[in-house]
Amino acid sequence: TQKMIDQAKAVMRKNDRGNYTVPTHGLYPFQWNWDSALSALGFAHFDEPRAWTEIETLFAHQWDDGMVPHIIFHQQDEGYFPGPDVWGTSRPVPTSGITQPAVAGFAVRRIFERATNKTLAVEKARALLPRIHAWHQWFFANRDPQGSGLVAIIHPWESGRDNSVDWDAAFERVPTDGVQPFTRRDTSHANPAHRPTDDQYKRYIWLVQKFRSLGWDNTKLHDASPFQIVDPGFNAILIRSCADLAVLADSLGDTEIAAQSRAMAEKGIAAMDSLWSEAHGQYLCYDRSISASVDSPSIGGILAAFAPIPKSRAKAIADRIDALSLSCNYLVPSHDPTAPEFDALRYWRGPIWLIVNYMISDGLKLAGETAMADRISADCLRLIEKAGFAEYYGPIGAEPCGGDAFTWTAAMVIEILS
């Protein structure tokens, strides 16, 4: 156990750039939004000031409208595409123009409550509280213009689940005309068979060019995007962070942020039930641009257990995961292994991600589904023992996939073992 923790710490130190971490050398040479928030949880176990710095650095690059961008390009690096010149967001320190799962609210509450240095924790959490709240408000103002209680992503990269089967049908409606020729860099760092396809990359870039042509004005982007998906996993993270921020705000005596956060969480939880599929025993995505459910049994609808959903739903999700375990050797695959689109080693079309496992396990534990929660955590450790600190893993053969020496994978191991 101690040996594994020490190895995980070494991975985190290796990717530490002083006031932020890179997800891994080479493939992802900048700061990523949800990577940082989740990695801070790992730091918090052995270096609390460093954990706070990670999140502080992220929020130092928040936009004036409240958005927290998905990448911060702290330094130049030709090894990544698309770089700052493609995004063209005109920020003093360049950033991308889209966001990522809002996990910071959850992470900050957890780091705050566990902190041994309470004075530091109060100071840091007090400063972050209004910033995180502004981001949550930004989501509902800009990504839920009809006030449904659930937000849409407008680019697959926002979900973090870049090439999920969930987006396939919607992506058919994203054009590729007018996309400038480009050279991918990711495929020179990682096995191309583990990564999204060239066709998907063209569509990713078409969306970036479209949003750039609108001046990255978030009051326009949602309605102008041909890609608007309500992802249960993404919403669950936002809802959980709103609920956690409410508790944090109470601890810090900010009753207004507490009340507003609680209201957003409650509305979201109620709305989430419209995404439940009795046939699949899990939640499904909803394609807002065509007003239709997406019939795709991915991990997005299982990650929904991270939110404080009704206990009956959490139980059904635990049963669903148990059913998935009949067709793989490790939990939890990012797509149903019995579905025709399942691809064991290709990024989000089958492989296991430890951060997702951690969030599902945490939600199930809170809902009282402790047996499944523990089983998922145990599988995480079996994967590390077999394949090291990879970016993601094959759910049948435990193959290490994508980048290696991965920061958030290491952080999750420290979380599980500490």
Please report whether residue 186 would count as binding ligand DGY according to CB under 6 A: yes
Q: Within 10 A of 122 (CB to CB), how many other CB atoms are there? A: 14
* Contacts to ligand DGY from residues 6-45, by CB under 6 A: none
Q: For the window 291-330, what string marks contact with ligand DGY as x by the rule CB under 6 A?
A: ----------------------------------------
Among 164, 115, 205, residue whose Cα is nearest residue 341: 164
Please report whether residue 162 would count as binding ligand DGY according to CB under 6 A: yes
Under 8 Å between Cβ of 223 and 145: yes
In degrees, to the nearest 5, what angle opens at C-alpha 367 toward C-alphas 365 and 368? 65
Nearest CB to ligand DGY, comparing residues 91 and 262: 91
Under 8 Å between Cβ of 353 and 335: no
Q: How far apart are CB 349 and ligand DGY at their closest, in Å?
A: 14
Among 177, 103, 99, residue whose Cα is nearest residue 143: 99
Q: Is 162 a catalytic residue?
A: yes
Among 158, 166, 163, residue whose Cα is nearest residue 347: 163
Among 334, 157, 312, residue whose Cα is nearest residue 229: 157
Please report whether residue 157 would count as binding ligand DGY according to CB under 6 A: yes
Q: How far apart are alpha carbons 136 and 111 in whole angstroms?
A: 19
Nearest CB to ligand DGY, comparing residues 52 and 167: 167
Please report whether residue 391 would count as binding ligand DGY according to CB under 6 A: no
Q: How far apart are alpha carbons 375 and 395 in whole angstroms?
A: 14
Please report whether residue 201 would count as binding ligand DGY according to CB under 6 A: no
Return the residue nearest ligand DGY (CB atom). 157
Q: Is 391 a catalytic residue?
A: yes
Q: How far apart are CB 75 and ligand DGY at their closest, in Å?
A: 17
Q: Which of 158, 162, 287, 336 is catalytic?
A: 162
Q: How far apart are alpha carbons 125 and 8 in whole angstroms?
A: 26
Q: How far apart are CB 70 and ligand DGY at their closest, in Å?
A: 6
Q: Which of 35, 287, 343, 391 is catalytic?
A: 391
Under 8 Å between Cβ of 28 and 49: no
**How many chain residues bind ligand DGY (CB under 6 A)?**
4
Please report whether residue 138 would count as binding ligand DGY according to CB under 6 A: no
| Binding-site ranges for ligand DGY (CB under 6 A) | 70, 157, 162, 186
Active site residues per annotation: 162, 391
